[in-house]
A and B are shown apart, each in its own frame.
Chain A
C-alpha cells in the first residue's frame, strides 16, 4: 500500500504528469512514431533501441550524458502503449521506478494523444518531466503535420561543444 503523502509534503496528484495533444494524423500513423526506432528519433532522442512487446526493453540516448531505459508493459497497436521509465545512473529516477502510459484516441480526422507519467519521487522531478514531455509531444505534433521540428534535443550546452 502506497502512502498518498511523502516526505516532501506533496500529494500524489502533484507528482502525476498529464500531457494531451491533438495530432493531424491517424492513430495508426502516430503509433509507428512510438515503436519504430527510426521514426522515434525524429521526435525524441538521438539513438533508440526498441523492442516493443510486453517484457521487451528499450534504451534511448537522450543526450551525451543521458540515457533513458525501461521495459514495455503493454503494447496494443494502435491505441495504447505502457512502459516503465528511468534514467541510467540516476538515484532519483532510476530505471523501472516510474511508468508512462500513452493512449491514442480517434479525434475527428486526427488523433488525441494522452500521456500519463506516474511514480515520481518529488514534485520537482515531475515538473521537469512534464516540461520535457510537452516539448517532445510538440515535436511529434509538428512532425505529423509535416513540419520540420528541427534537430533533436538537447541543444548543445557550453560544457560539451
Chain B
C-alpha cells in the first residue's frame, strides 16, 4: 500500500495515470505530453509499474502503458478526487497569472 501511496503522491505520476486511464499510450506519446526530460518520464513510468498501477505491454521496441483499474481498486476514487484538485490548482494558477 505504501508503494501505491508514494506512486500517486507525485502530480506528474497522477497526470500519467490520468493519460492512460481510459486507453493505452506508448511511452513516446506519454513523453510528448510532458515538459520533463525523457529519462524523468521513464523513471516515473517505472515507479508506477513497480507499484502495480500501470501495465506495460511490449511490441518490438515500443512500450505501451495503461492503468490497471483492478490493482488501483479503491485508490481509483481517491485519484479522481486528486485530479479534480490538480485541475482546481491549475485554474487558480491561471487566474493568478491573469491578474498579475
Contact = CB atoms under 8 A, between A and B. Distances in A.
Interface stretch (A26-34, A47-55, A126-134, A141-149): A126-134
B61 interface: yes
A119 interface: no
B35 interface: yes
Contact of A158 (B40, B46, B90): B90
A131 B62 contact: yes
Contacts of B62: 127, 131
Interface residues of B, number: 31
A9 interface: no
Interface residues of A, number: 36
Nearest to B26: A131
A7 B93 CA distance: 43
Nearest to B28: A131
Contacts, number: 99
Interface in A12-69: 14, 62-68
B18 interface: yes
Contact of A153 (B32, B40, B90): B32
B42 A159 contact: no
Interface string A110-134: 0000000000001011111111101
Given A155-B33, A161-B90, A93 B39 contact: yes
A21 to B, nearest CB: 16
A161 B93 contact: yes
Nearest to B91: A161
User: Which 9 A-B pairs give the minimum distances between C-beta atoms?
Assistant: A131-B28, A87-B37, A63-B35, A92-B39, A66-B37, A93-B39, A64-B35, A90-B39, A128-B38
